[in-house]
Structure 1
Amino acid sequence: MATARGADCENGTDGDISEDPERQALDYVSRVLGTLALPDKVQQLPHTLPVEAQGCIKHEGLKKSPVTGDHGETLSLLLLLPLELILHTLSYLDPRFILDVLPLVCRTLRDIVADEVTWRLRVQRRIGANFPVVEQEQFDWPAACIELEEQVSNWSDKGKKTEHFSLGEGHFAPVDAVLLLEKGSLCVSGSRDRNVILWDLKQLGKKQEKVKCTVLGAAKTGTHKGWAWSLAACDTCVCSGSWDSTMKIWDMAADGQQVGEIRGRAAILCLGYLPDILVAGSYDKRVTMYDPRASNPLIKSRRLHSRPVLSLVADDRHVVSSGEDRTLVVFDRRANAVSQTVQMDNYLFCMTYEAPQLWAGNNQGLIHVYGSHGGTFQHLRCFDVGHTSQITGICHSAGTLYSTSTDKTMKVHIPTDPPRTLHTLTHSHVVNGVSVAGDTVAAAGEQTVEIWRFPE
């Protein structure tokens, strides 16, 4: 088991690191996650390049069905109709059926299904709003269409189609981090009770079966010696970060056995886990990169902020971090240097990123959207989705959007411009984060992990 202490003198020594992590954590939560009423929100929309209205799709060339009349191909009456009528007929079919089955019927249907315009028109007719928010090349329109339609179906009628489970027999303090694994069959949660718990969701909902929960680690005092605050996963490994300044690595393929530990300089507030690096944002304003496979894991540590690092995301080119100092810093891994610093009016507490879209929630309950092009992140949109205080968690994919808040709600949206809220779930306490995988959604609650599962 590799153990290392992060020690990098590149930026000198910080003299403001508290010797009492418990007091430090309490002060941080009071300052950053306080639930005081917010003043009226002022949406300062950035000066940005306009996003084209994708709804204005031209219909030229769609007057006639593209029937080729190849020898040996039997043309049905359907295929003799104008293409507009064919697409209207297909709109009544399930998108997965269209994608998987119709291309096997004939060349004409295969060509229709393969045409991007088919799916753009279907999405536009379904939602009637600009989509996607960030334009990108090689956008997977069929996959996005499937996600959008399933999101709307799953949460229609106030989410009555979903199964809800509250897992309350593991933690005895607020849960601050939650992460779904293996398409939603496993869940990991971190809590202020200092424990990280592995939940086996495969038995969820079956009669006379309880969800098996396992506390990770062998220590009697808990998984960590401080609050378990952050989680990140790569392949079968999960890393947990704590206010005790440690990062512990657990192998899910080995029933959650500990396979590594790295000791940092300060409380670990956020993590990013990639095949080649583990990135940590800490209370001492630093973003630090490690190679957890090495006997001496430390790669580099930079003081990129003047206040604690609240959230970060990373890919093979960039590490993007947000701090309590109200800055967004883009670090270029290839150039080994900061490529961009954005000053904001408020701080971003949570982020989700899949190039070229970065979605983030701030302490005023607003959602910001950035687009990354040519190594630069451009602020494109600012949305008020109805939260009345700090956004604590955000999950975005091609066709789904979830947000949680200290206003005691989790909101379900579709990621259009502006987002359309499908359902708001109200809780008795603050909701500290959200994770989505497969047909499962998990949220971090007050001593509980809340699970929603969709019908297959």
Structure 2
Amino acid sequence: MDDENADCAYSEEDAQVSLLDLPVEIFLHICSFLKASTLVHSLSLVCKQFYLILKDDSLWKARINRMWPDASYPLLRPAKPDKLFWKLSCVAIEKQRTIWGLKECSMKKINSHGCGSTVDALLLMHDGTAYIAGARDRSLIYCNFREGWKYRVTDMGSAHNGWIWDVTTIDNTIYSCSWDQTVKSWMLTDTNFVHQKTYKMNAGALLCMSSCPEQALFATGSYLRTVFIFDSRSGDKPIKQYRPHGGAVIKLAMNSEYILSASEDKTVSVYDQRAGQIMKFITIPGEAFPMCMNMQRDCVCIGDSIAKLHVLNPKKDFELVNSYSTGHTKGITGVHLTRGNLITSSTDGSVKIWSPTDPPKLMTTLRSSFGEIARMDYQNGVLAISGSEIAVYMNRCVQ
């Protein structure tokens, strides 16, 4: 009887043991088998004790370091990371490693649009559920695949009188630039594009665009070396123009403080919008010129014509801090940096997915079905590439 009572007493006591009673070391060991998203969005919200244990940045730094022990995260250390930086970065990294870290990538084509000519302009919109594209046959294309990934294509033929080189958006207004020396603004309806305004410039072909929706500003760069800045709320004349280069302006990146322009003269210029003047020129190393740019708050990535990736630090006057070989065999046509990955595309027909670390570590390589890639964009787990076709891919895990 005593033994039976002893067994019952043990069972009752054992039933009351919980995670709260475990030593921190054992609790963290258990956590190492759980996804970062589960820890951040579920377990840390259970009680104050779990929250305090899981808020420690050193936990997340160590977890990231175990993924890439011979690399430093992030690619360029932020000057002032927010309180959630390491937590949310770890969540983003693990998600991307799930997507790209498989032997066979789990991305699948959800949309393909054959085009009559090369598509040089491509931009994902609405959290990756639509894209806008411009082609050399002068057509402007909008595709929405929001509902069940069934897509609707709106194709505006002869939107310009020359090749369309780039597109950008401010709110729901689309801006396109062309070899015909114009920028046109468009509003989408259920069935078509509605032309709103034409901005005419006598500065040669317009080759690139960028925008800053927060300030309702957009900019375009020309073959004749000029950058034009427009206020979308005012008339059809530029509010500012300047000539930063000795060659054609082929790429722009813009935020509320700076406009970066890349040129065939092998330089990138940094224009300070507040001061109204050029503050710096960066020369691309080697016999190469910059082909694409991606500007984040704490990092600028530049892809060049000999397949090298260059990193600038905006917090140190856009100092060139690193250059990397990418393994592409031709020029880089697109670069996109997020907390969880770094993506590059090339005219060699490949897209490479990297870790966002110093140095970047290759996770996987994709090959286009149509050869050369002219443009690439990535948003919310959706990857879009263009050339003689437009192809959109989405990971099965994000559906």
Same-fold status (TM-score > 0.5): yes
Deviations 1:157-215 (A, max 9, x none): 3444222145134x211111211111111111111111110001124655xxxx21102
Shifted more, 231-240 versus 193-202: the winner is 231-240
CA distance in 1, matches of 2:313, 2:393: 30
For residues 204 and 433 of structure 1, do their structure 2 counterparts lie closer, same or farther at Cα, with a shift above 3 Å needed? farther
Match of 1:438 in 2: 380
Deviations 1:251-276 (A, max 9, x none): 34776433332122221111111133
Does residue 1:373 correspond to 2:315, yes or no? yes
Question: Do 2:198 and 2:236's aligned partners in 1 also have CA atoms closer than 8 Å?
Answer: no
CA distance in 2, matches of 1:162, 1:339: 42
Deviations 1:47-73 (A, max 9, x none): xxxxxxxxxxxxxxxxxxxxxxxxxxx
Does residue 1:271 correspond to 2:209, yes or no? yes
Match of 1:157 in 2: 102
Q: What is the SS of the residue equivalent to 1:143?
A: helix
Q: What is the SS of the residue equivalent to 1:154?
A: helix
The answer to which structure has the higher strand fraction is 2
Question: Do 1:310 and 1:321's aligned partners in 2 also have CA atoms closer than 8 Å?
Answer: yes
Write the mapping of 1:19-58 to structure 2, written as runs, cut at 5 A. none
Q: Which of 175, 183, 197 is residue 260 of structure 1 equivalent to?
A: 197
Q: TM-score, normalised by structure 1?
A: 0.77
Match of 1:28 in 2: none
Match of 1:184 in 2: 128
**1:80 Cα deviation after fit:** 4.4
Match of 1:243 in 2: 179
Q: Which of 323, 337, 344 is residue 396 of structure 1 equivalent to?
A: 337
Deviations 1:353-389 (A, max 9, x none): 1111001100010111111115x10111111121111
CA distance in 2, matches of 1:311, 1:76: 61
CA distance in 2, matches of 1:234, 1:205: 24
CA distance in 1, matches of 2:329, 2:373: 13
Match of 2:357 in 1: 416
**1:138 Cα deviation after fit:** 1.6
**1:402 Cα deviation after fit:** 1.1
CA distance in 2, matches of 1:429, 1:108: 54
Q: Which of 235, 253, 272 is residue 295 of structure 1 equivalent to?
A: 235
Which structure 2 residue ranges, 5 or more long, are not aligned?
A: 1-15
CA distance in 1, matches of 2:309, 2:109: 26
Question: Do 2:332 and 2:346's aligned partners in 1 also have CA atoms closer than 8 Å?
Answer: yes
Structure with higher RCO (Cα < 8 A, 6+ apart): 1
Question: Do 1:352 and 1:396's aligned partners in 2 also have CA atoms closer than 8 Å?
Answer: yes
Q: Which of 222, 240, 265 is residue 282 of structure 1 equivalent to?
A: 222
For residues 124 and 229 of structure 1, do their structure 2 counterparts lie closer, same or farther at Cα, with a shift above 3 Å needed? same
Q: What is the SS of the residue equivalent to 1:298?
A: coil
CA distance in 1, matches of 2:187, 2:103: 37
For residues 236 and 118 of structure 1, do their structure 2 counterparts lie closer, same or farther at Cα, with a shift above 3 Å needed? farther
CA distance in 1, matches of 2:278, 2:31: 49
**1:334 Cα deviation after fit:** 0.8
CA distance in 2, matches of 1:160, 1:341: 39
Q: Which of 87, 98, 104 is residue 142 of structure 1 equivalent to?
A: 87
Shifted more, 146-155 versus 114-123: the winner is 114-123
CA distance in 2, matches of 1:318, 1:387: 29
Q: What is the SS of the residue equivalent to 1:109?
A: helix
Shifted more, 244-253 versus 272-281: the winner is 244-253
Shifted more, 351-360 versus 405-414: the winner is 405-414
The number of residues matched between the two structures is: 371
CA RMSD of aligned residues (A): 2.0
Deviations 1:367-419 (A, max 9, x none): 11111115x10111111121111001111111121111111111111211111
Over the matched positions of the two proteins, sequence identity in percent amounts to 27
CA distance in 1, matches of 2:357, 2:98: 16
**1:117 Cα deviation after fit:** 1.9
Match of 1:317 in 2: 257
Q: Which of 200, 203, 224 is residue 160 of structure 2 equivalent to?
A: 224
Deviations 1:12-39 (A, max 9, x none): xxxxxxxxxxxxxxxxxxxxxxxxxxxx
Q: What is the SS of the residue equivalent to 2:365?
A: strand
Which structure 1 residue ranges, 5 or more long, are not aligned?
A: 1-74
Match of 1:54 in 2: none
Question: Do 2:123 and 2:167's aligned partners in 1 also have CA atoms closer than 8 Å?
Answer: yes
Q: What is the SS of the residue equivalent to 2:138?
A: coil
